[in-house]
Amino acid sequence: MLTLRPSPPPPLRADRDREELTRIWDSVGADERKVLIAHARAVVEMTGAGRRTEKRL
């Protein structure tokens, strides 16, 4: 039997909000970037969203 999987999400570069994300990232300094990365990692850890990608983090 064929198992159908959902389509993967489109890459971020195809997202309409990509320009805004790029502007935000470019506007903050190195320390703020570290905070943003730490926050993103904490969200992934708490939601379990990164279970499949833990090796990449």
pLDDT in tens, 1-56: 667 778 877 666 656 777 888 888 899 999 999 998 999 899 888 888 766 554 55
The sign one gets for the Cα dihedral 53, 43, 20, 31 is negative
Rg of the chain over all Cα atoms, to the nearest angstrom: 15
pLDDT for res 13: 62
Per-residue DSSP letter, 1: -
CA torsion 19-37-54-47 (nearest 10°) is: -90
